[in-house]
Amino acid sequence: MLSAPPKKTQYVSRQSDENGIIHWSPEENQIWQELYERQAALLPGRACEQYMQGLELLKLTQDRIPQLKDIDEVLMRETGWKTAEVPALINFTDFFTLLANKQFPVATFIRSKEEFDYLQEPDVFHEIFGHCPLLTNPAFAHFTHTYGKLGLAASKEDRGYLARLYWFTVEFGLLKTSEGLRIYGGGILSSPGETHYALDSETPERYDLKPIDVLRTPYRIDIMQPLYYVLEDFDNLFDIAQMDIMALVEEAKKLGLYEPKFPPKNKLAS
């Protein structure tokens, strides 16, 4: 989830009962199963090893939407994280507050059949399948926690720059490996179209990840990505978390944004 100011959504999140159980309908569980089976078949040889290890640790149910309390048990054991039920959309402050407290926001609704292939709002499939496996990894968990603390203390303007860092890593990051490029961004991992496009298409540009470049790169949420940033080694996320990111934000503001690599739109996503 990359948070943004609240806007209207057709979806209504479900609430857990007094035992922490969300009672999903058979139709909702069926959508989860179809999404899971389709994406799980694509990821071997495409998703990074750290993600596949996390998926194995979580042991997500395939035929029904997993309960958050079961995911929390694994995350707490591995990295001290847990999930947090949230509405379909939350604001930046709530988003950063949760991350700063090692709580990953999970919107408790699942997409409709009509938006099976793509929706702009992050749903429970995107959050759980796309992101939660990597929260079992210490480097990814530390980076995300550090990011939350930085964002919570940042100004509104600076949060816009930080959003780009999240977008090109946590959401749409690629990783170099000895076997070739692999995916670690949850926005790709939960999307079959983007999974093929990110690795196989000659259309997008791919650059080595340099935080100052990332902070200066505009993005759009409603198109296939025109460029991806590639991490040299997964543990580099530890190194980035140790950098003075806010000093880099100040440098990025002085240098200005790069020219967008997408057609103009009335209201850009960044």
In the predicted structure, residue 6 carries a pLDDT above the cut 60: no
Q: Which listed residue (3, 28, 127, 131) is catalytic?
A: 131
The pLDDT of residue 4:
47
**Nearest CA-CA partner of 100 in 42, 19, 162, 55:** 162
Q: Which listed residue (28, 171, 191, 194) is catalytic?
A: 171
Look up 171 and say whether it is catalytic: yes
Across the range 149-163, mean pLDDT stands at 97
- What CATH number is associated with residue 248? 1.10.800.10
Domain tally for the chain?
Answer: 1
The pLDDT of residue 3:
45
Which has more confidence, 222 or 134? 134
The pLDDT of residue 270:
47
| 20 assigned to some structural domain | no
Band the pLDDT of 66: cuts 50, 70, 90: very high
The pLDDT of residue 15:
93
162-216 pLDDT, tens digit each: 999 999 999 999 999 999 999 999 999 999 999 999 999 999 999 999 999 999 9
| 238 assigned to some structural domain | yes
| 1 assigned to some structural domain | no
The pLDDT of residue 236:
97
| 125 assigned to some structural domain | yes
Where is the binding site for Fe cation, in residues?
A: 126, 131, 171
The pLDDT of residue 52:
98
| 12 assigned to some structural domain | no
The pLDDT of residue 96:
97
Q: Which listed residue (28, 190, 191, 194) is catalytic?
A: 190
Full domain range(s) for residue 120? 26-255
The pLDDT of residue 12:
87
Cβ neighbour number for residue 66 with a 10 Å cutoff: 21
Look up 18 and say whether it is catalytic: no
Look up 23 and say whether it is catalytic: no
Could you tell me where the DSSP H helices lie in 66-210?
Answer: 68-78, 92-100, 124-125, 138-153, 156-166, 186-189, 192-200
Where is the binding site, in residues?
A: 126, 131, 171
| 270 assigned to some structural domain | no
What secondary structure letter does DSSP report for 174?
A: E
| 208 phi, psi to nearest 5 deg | -60, 140
pTM of the model: 0.92
Look up 190 and say whether it is catalytic: yes
